[in-house]
């Protein structure tokens, strides 16, 4: 007996639904791979499960982006609006500009210059000379700034040395003044002369 015909409708049991989805999804991916190999067809497959998980397959000979672009051209259906198209064009422009800058950088390094004509070689030479002039100008400015800073440091050191010398002289002068005051207080008093009448009284006491 053969298998009975399955009614195509939503499976109510959640577990059975998950099992059936997993089996049929794997079968779809297997069939997509087989038709790609057997028939040399360009196949793309995208499956979203009910929980949002995605499964995708794209034939090795063409990426998904290129296949969607081809689908848009052949079907006449717009997959991208004007905003996305402008964004895509801007991305392509930036990539191209970056490639050109990378190529110019290699030329400035002396790489890949065999294919350049005389005009392009002269442009590279001019760019290198202009860069060298900027480097020399910056180097000269750096040296001048360094010399100015050195002069400022020398002058500042001279002023600090002078201030230190003045302070040392002031301290020494104060120390001498204090020593002289101390010496005057201990030894520097004057002997008062003896008054005449007091001297007579002393002589009389001696004679007596």
Give buried/exposed letters for 47-85 (b at 16+ CB in 10 A, else e): eeeeeeeeeebbbeeeeeeebeeeeeeeeeeeeeeeeee
Q: Residue 193 domain-assigned?
A: no
Q: Residue 197 domain-assigned?
A: no
Q: What are phi and psi of 191, to 5 degrees?
A: -80, 120
Q: Residue 96 domain-assigned?
A: no
Q: Report how many domains make up the chain.
A: 1
Q: Decide: helix, strand or coil at residue 4.
A: coil
Distance, CA of 156 to chain centre: 36
Domain harbouring 42, CATH code: 3.40.1810.10
The predicted-structure confidence for 47-78, as pLDDT tens digits, reads as follows 999 888 999 999 998 888 888 888 888 888 87
Rounded Cα distance, 118 and 123, in Å:
9
The pTM (predicted TM-score) of the whole model is: 0.39
Rounded Cα distance, 63 and 82, in Å:
22
Q: Note down the domain range covering 59.
A: 10-79
What pLDDT, on a 0 to 100 scale, did the predictor assign at position 182? 67
The predicted-structure confidence for 120-147, as pLDDT tens digits, reads as follows 888 878 888 888 888 888 899 999 999 9
Q: What are 21's two structure tokens?
A: 């989805």
Q: How far is CA 57 from CA 63, 66, 169, in A?
A: 10, 14, 93
């Amino acid at each position: 007996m053969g298998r009975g015909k399955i009614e195509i409708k939503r499976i109510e049991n959640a577990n059975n639904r998950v099992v059936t989805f997993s089996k049929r999804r794997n079968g779809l991916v297997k069939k997509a791979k087989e038709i790609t190999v057997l028939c040399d067809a360009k196949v793309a497959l995208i499956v979203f499960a009910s929980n949002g998980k995605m499964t995708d397959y794209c034939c090795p000979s063409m990426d998904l982006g290129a296949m969607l672009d081809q689908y848009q051209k052949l079907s006449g259906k717009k997959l991208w609006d004007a905003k996305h198209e402008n964004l895509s064009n801007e991305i392509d422009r930036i990539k191209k500009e970056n490639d050109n800058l990378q190529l110019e950088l290699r030329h400035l390094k002396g790489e890949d210059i065999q294919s350049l004509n005389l005009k392009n070689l002269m442009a590279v030479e001019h760019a290198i000379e202009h860069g060298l002039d900027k480097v020399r100008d910056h180097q000269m400015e750096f040296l001048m700034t360094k010399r100015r800073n050195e002069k400022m440091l020398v002058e500042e050191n001279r002023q600090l040395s002078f201030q230190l010398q003045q302070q040392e002289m002031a301290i020494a002068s104060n120390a001498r003044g204090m020593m002289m005051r101390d010496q005057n207080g201990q030894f520097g008093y004057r002997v008062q002369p003896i008054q005449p009448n007091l001297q007579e009284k002393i002589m009389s006491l001696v004679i007596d």
